[in-house]
């Protein structure tokens, strides 16, 4: 089943992505199609709504590991395409 607790848009994205979650987000790790961790976005105080600039990321299909403040992680695919 698809996890509906986190909504990510737009997908594909060109300059920013937005995440809406039912629980607070602590960090987002970007894993590229070769399995390399590209970058990590840490959310300082935890937030339900997050925007992340993707200007510095090359066009690629990424796997996002989104970790909540309760240390649970979910994985989501996001495409960066310009």
**Buried/exposed 18-54: b ≥16 CB within 10 Å, e otherwise:** ebebeeebbebbbbbeeeeeeeebebeeeeeebebeb
For residue 4, the model assigns a pLDDT of: 63
Regions in the chain scoring below 70 on pLDDT: 1-4
For residue 40, the model assigns a pLDDT of: 85
């Amino acid at each position: 089943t698809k996890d509906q607790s986190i909504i990510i848009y737009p997908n594909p994205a060109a300059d920013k992505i937005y995440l809406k979650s039912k629980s607070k987000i602590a960090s987002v790790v970007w894993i590229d199609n070769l399995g390399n961790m590209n970058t990590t976005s840490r959310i300082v105080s935890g937030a339900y709504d997050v925007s992340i600039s993707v200007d510095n990321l090359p066009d690629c299909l990424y796997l996002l590991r989104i970790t909540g403040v309760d240390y649970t992680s979910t994985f989501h695919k996001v495409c960066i395409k310009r």
